[in-house]
Chain A
Amino acid sequence: MKALILTGGAGRNLVPFSPTRPKAMTVVAGGSLLRRQLTQLREAGVTDITVVLGQNGEKIRHAFTDGHDLEVNLTYVEQGQPRGIVDSILTARSRFNPGEYFLLVYGDIITSGNPFFQVLQSFNAFKGPIASVYLPGPPTGRYGNVYLSGTRITKIVEKPSGSDLGNYVLSGMFVLPAEIFSVMEKVGGEMEKVFDHLVGANGLNASIWEEGWIDVECPWDILAANRMVMDTWSEAQISSQANIEGNVTFRGPVRVAGDSTIKSGAVLVGPCYVGPGCYVGNNTLVRNYASLGARSIIGYGVELKNCVLFGNSDVGRLSFVGDSVLGENVDLGSGTMTINENMDRSSVRVDLRGESVDSGLDKLGAFIGDDVKIGASHTIAAGTIIAAGSVVPHRVTLGSGGGDA
């Protein structure tokens, strides 16, 4: 079976990362969402994969090229201006033959465990359209409520009202016939209408996904996704190619990739991840759920906890980064402190596109976009978003300063 992955979504809530990268290129636990999906698809025997590209799509092309590194065969289709999911699917129409079923995957979801075996198993049982569904923990109004009879989907309520309602939601993985393209043209713009059409024709069966699932929509979802993946790690994996000095402590499921350097006095508490080419300085403390993307540099005495560094970033000496996400090519000057809680322990609010949104989290630090440079000695308030490309000079309390910021 062929697969179609949609990565063209604007991801407007995923600030400050969405202006510079597709959501699918969000990095958790050392790999992008898309890399994880491609790997899982290949494991499930799906290798002919089309990726719909939107804004910043060249980052995906650049990272995966024709897919040979992951042993898949990738084809790219440009969506141009984002005009919704249906439009995005239709751009790939010519890739599929009439009578053929294909796997449709939203590029902004992440699961613990490989969901595609289950989806394909369901398809083999029903030989008809399949929608993977998931039961979120506490019910939210964020997703439509899928009504089932057996596994047949009988209706999808888009905006479930009241917290007493809670059931399965569409989880962004489908098996659909190529005939769906003409349905899409007929019913027009919205995916909901396409599903309603399938449901009305008694033709949509649910495949129930029981393990973890996260739709990466808000910046703090990155931290949850990172945790979800790392929670499946049960043992340490230290590359024999890593350069590890004496007096380094590993505790729990620590993963260290090759070609990285860990200096004396460092303490790494798993689950945590140190990517290829990283430098972890003397007397650093890398605590659980810290993920250091490739070529990150952590200076002397830095403490990291529950944070994701996409890669190629530099955290200056004597800094603390907790409950935070750093994009690619971020420079934090020495003595940077992220504050990760409110004094009154109330949940941290974040300004998303001018609207103050309650994250629901007691501990939350900062979200720092790609290519940000922050000078030395800054203290960053809980829930701060720093736009990609920002440059912040050193915070100097004495002298006029001859250095540049």
Chain B
Amino acid sequence: MCGIAGVASFQIIDDRLYDGVRHLEYRGYDSCGVAYLNHDHIEIRKDIGTVDEVNSKENIRNLDSFVGIAHTRWATHGRVTRENAHPHPSCHGEFVVVHNGIIGNYKEIRHELTNLGHHFTSVTDTEVIAHLIEEQYARVGDVELAWVSALRALRGSYALAMLSIHDRDRIYCARHESPLIIGVGSDSNYVGSDFNAFIDYTKDTVILDDGEYGMIARDSYSVKSLESGDVVEKSITTVPWDPELAGKGGYPHFMLKEIHEQPQAVRTALHISEDEIKTVSDMIAGARRVYLVGVGTTYYVALYGQYILAEIADLDVSAMSSDEFRHLDKSDRDSLVLAISQSGETYDTVMSLRHAKERGAKTAAIVNVVGSSIARLVDHVILQGSGPEVCVVSTKAALVQMILLARLAIELGVRCGKVSAVQQREYEAALTSLPEQIQNVLNEKSGLLRAAASRHKEVGNWIFLGRGIYYPIALEAALKMKEVTYVHAEGMSGGFLKHGTLSLVDENFYTLVLVPPQATGELHSMTMSSVEEVKARGGPVLGLTFGGDEELYDERVALLPVHPLIAPFLPLVGAQLLAYFTATALKRNVDKPRSLAKSVTVA
């Protein structure tokens, strides 16, 4: 996974490519580079490191040119070295390419080109594209024809942008199974992996579809079909988000910003029209078999969906991790696959949807990013409208996805008669109060959670315990802890703990319990019996509780009692803060944890 940015302009590029790749760093950040037209040749500046590190070595910030492309890399083929960093030139530097995706047949192409005398400087799949275009150009003498015939030879996934010395005013771009969009400005046109690449400069975008390629000049752009060569008429989509929001504002990290944005994100989600909810409810009700798919955090969201649909709507649906879905997929024409993805580009989830579509299944999705692959792939999409989520660790997007699943469950519960009109109003009132309840946790518990985080930052092993619907919440909470702090945390259901894992518990093995309100009766008492089991082995127990049983916890943070429907979200927010403050106490790279990237668009 990588990020692409490009600009063709009447004004000099100056810092626009630098800004672009910096905003795309969430897509990967192990190396980066730029290529731009410098009089009679294409100049390349690249190195390993974050955008700022590369800038300090190579100065990619003040480019005195009118056409250029840039790239931030997350390695798939070839190690993190300067040679393997993009952009990649052809033998004579006449064609320079940046690429996101994986070329499946690059070894064959490389072999052929080597036999034809091409010399390769990197081990990437990308470099073969530049040489391939050069080879084709030598035969046909036209950049666009060479570009098209090169693209037709590629197998695999790609988003591409290219500069050529033989067509100096244009950037060529193309997409197949990796995202790419064009930004339309007043005196400049842009290309990028997503709108963050040019968010400071324009909100008007044209979204490329698979099998399309584009050409951008400073005063025009065009999109054509790779297969037919015909011009494709594309409409302009205006990105509704305010570029201001893409900055950190008054926050030290995007993660904290996004945690604090949750009340507003929930409000927005509650305003998503009833029709949207009804349409997807119709699809769920009309299907004989329903799969909820996501991966990582969104798998836990799906698992939450499985619980809430069972609890409120008496529905039996299967939550599945999308990376494993194809092995278990028994969908057919009477099935629905409901996918959950923040970016809408998650490779495994895209593949799950394709797999199910091939089997004839209907598809739907809850997605945050407008115009993303999944949003356009499915029969119906609910756009969650949570605003850009920049921190690699998902917080607000995941919470809102759960809220939308709860809304679906209420609607379906009403339909099946399990939810009375009175209950429906009660549920809706509870959801309406949620933003304020979350705000309360943020405003009155942050200090306590930060104190707990700094006391326990050296703890090496955590179990996060939850039962019933608190189980997927515990899994999600533990994932937050793991990914941002690099501390081992395992989400587990209370009953499961007894069957093996309990042997790990001793005085150094900490347990965080997500305790349901006492009003939940059996769920609460069963959770407390798990607490007793841990205490009996000498394990320290921290409780995120709604009050009661004070003496059982070594430490606790008491939350205000709320309606059981929304109660699970408060300890989730508490656990997000605990993970965040632990990470800052440990001086972790909060917004860009090692080894992770925001949207995983590779297998």
Asked whether, in the complex, the Cβ of A205 is within 8 Å of the Cβ of B250, the reply is: yes
Q: Which of B253, B256, B442, B451 contacts A137 (CB 8 A)?
A: B451
The answer to whether B252 and A209 have CB atoms under 8 Å apart is: yes
Given A138-B451, A147-B443, A210-B584: A125 touches B244 (CB 8 Å cut-off): yes
Please name all residues of chain B whose beta carbon is closer than 8 Å to the beta carbon of A118 when the two chains form the complex: 252
Q: Which residues from B are CB-within-8-Å of A130?
A: 250
Question: Hey, which chain A residues are within 8 Å of B249, CB to CB?
Answer: 122, 125-126, 150-151, 205
User: Is the pair A166, B446 in contact by a Cβ cutoff of 8 Å?
Assistant: yes
User: How large, as a class, is the contact surface on chain A?
Assistant: 20 to 34
Q: In the complex, A154 Cα to B249 Cα: how many Å?
A: 17
Residue B528 interfacial (CB < 8 Å): no
Q: Is B439 an interface residue (CB 8 A)?
A: yes
Given A148-B260, A150-B264, A208-B256, A135:B444 Cβ within 8 A: no
**A208/B252 in contact, CB under 8 A:** yes
Question: Binary interface profile of A, 367-386, with partner B (CB < 8 Å = 1, else 0)?
Answer: 00000000000000000000
| Residue in A closest to B256 when the chains form the complex, CB atoms | A208
Once bound together, how far apart are the Cα atoms of A139 and B447, in whole Å? Answer: 6
Is the CB–CB distance between A121 and B248 below 8 Å?
A: yes
Cα distance A208–B450 in the bound complex, in angstroms: 14
**Do A166 and B250 contact each other (CB < 8 Å), given the known contacts A135-B450, A150-B264?**
no
A148→B443 contact, CB < 8 A: yes
A291 CB within 8 Å of chain B: no
Say how far B244's CB is from chain A's closest CB, in angstroms.
Answer: 7
The residues of B that contact A165 with a CB separation of less than 8 Å are 444, 447
- Report whether B248 and A167 are in contact in the complex, using a CB–CB cutoff of 8 Å: no
A139–B252 CB distance below 8 A: no
Which chain B positions have C-beta within 8 A of A150?
249, 260-261, 263-264
Choose one: B250, B444, B446; the contact of A151 (CB below 8 Å): B250
Do the beta carbons of B250 and A164 come within 8 Å of each other?
Answer: no
Q: Assess A151 versus B251: contact at CB under 8 Å? Given A137-B450, A137-B454, A210-B584.
A: yes
Interface residues on B, range: 20 to 34
Say yes or no for B247: interface residue by CB 8 A criterion: yes
Minimum C-beta distance from B253 to chain A (A) = 7
Interface status of A79 (Cβ within 8 A of chain B): no
Query: Which one of B256, B451, B584 contacts A166 once the chains associate, using CB atoms below 8 Å?
Result: B451
Tell yes or no: B224 within 8 A of A by CB: no
A167 to B247, CA, bound (A): 23
Known: A150-B261, A151-B249, A208-B256. A139 touches B443 (CB 8 A): no
Residues in A with CB closer than 8 Å to B445 are: 166-167
Is B123 on the interface with A (CB-CB < 8 A)? no
As a 0/1 sequence over residues 263 to 289 of chain B, the CB contacts with chain A under 8 angstroms (1 = contact) are 110000000000000000000000000
Contact with A along B445-460 (1 / 0, CB 8 A): 1111011001000000
Q: Which residues of B contact A209 (CB under 8 A)?
A: 252
Cβ-defined contact, A149 with B251, below 8 A = no
Q: A137-B454, A150-B260 are in contact. Are A208 and B251 (CB under 8 A)?
A: yes
State the CA gap A126–B247 with chains docked (Å): 11
User: In the bound complex, do residue A139 and residue B448 qualify as a contact, i.e. CB atoms below 8 Å apart?
Assistant: yes
Closest CB-CB distance, A114 to chain B, in whole Å?
13
Q: Is A11 an interface residue (CB 8 A)?
A: no
What CA separation (Å) do A215 and B261 show in the bound complex? Answer: 29
Q: Are A167 and B252 in contact (CB under 8 A)?
A: no
Q: CB distance A164 to B454 under 8 Å?
A: no
Q: Which residue of B lies closest to A125 (CB)?
A: B249
A206 within 8 A of B: yes
Q: How far is B447's CA from A145's CA once the two chains are assembled, in angstroms?
A: 10
Cβ-based interface call for B566 (8 A): no
Q: Is A282 an interface residue (CB 8 A)?
A: no
Tell me, rounded to whole Å, the shortest Cβ–Cβ distance linking A160 to chain B: 9
Contacts of B444 in A (CB 8 A): 145, 164-167
For window 426-448 of B, CB contacts with A under 8 Å fall at 439, 442-448
Rounded to whole Å, the gap between the CB of B316 and the closest CB of chain A is 40
* Chain A residues whose CB sits within 8 angstroms of the CB of B448 once the complex forms: 139, 164, 166
Instruction: Let me know if A7 is at the binding interface, CB within 8 A.
Output: no
* Interface presence of A136 (CB below 8 A): yes
In the complex, what distance in Å separates the CA atom of A210 from the CA atom of B581? 9
- Per the bound structure, the CA–CA distance linking A69 and B426 in Å amounts to 67
* Residue B558 is within 8 A (CB to CB) of chain A in the complex: yes
A77 to B: closest C-beta gap in Å: 29
| CA distance in complex: A276, B445 (Å) | 46
Does A151 lie within 8 Å of B247, measured CB to CB? no
B250 touches A122 (CB 8 A): yes
Give bound CA distance, A118 to B250, whole Å: 7
Report A81-140 residues with CB < 8 Å from chain B CB.
118, 121-122, 125-126, 130, 135-139
- What string of 1s and 0s marks CB contacts (under 8 Å) between A306-337 and chain B? 00000000000000000000000000000000
Q: List 11 A-B contacts (CB under 8 A).
A: A125-B250, A135-B450, A139-B447, A145-B443, A147-B443, A150-B263, A166-B444, A166-B445, A167-B442, A209-B252, A210-B256
Nearest 4 CB-CB pairings of A with B: A166-B447, A210-B252, A207-B250, A122-B250
Name B's A-contacting residues (CB within 8 A).
244, 247-253, 256, 260-261, 263-264, 439, 442-448, 450-451, 454, 558, 584
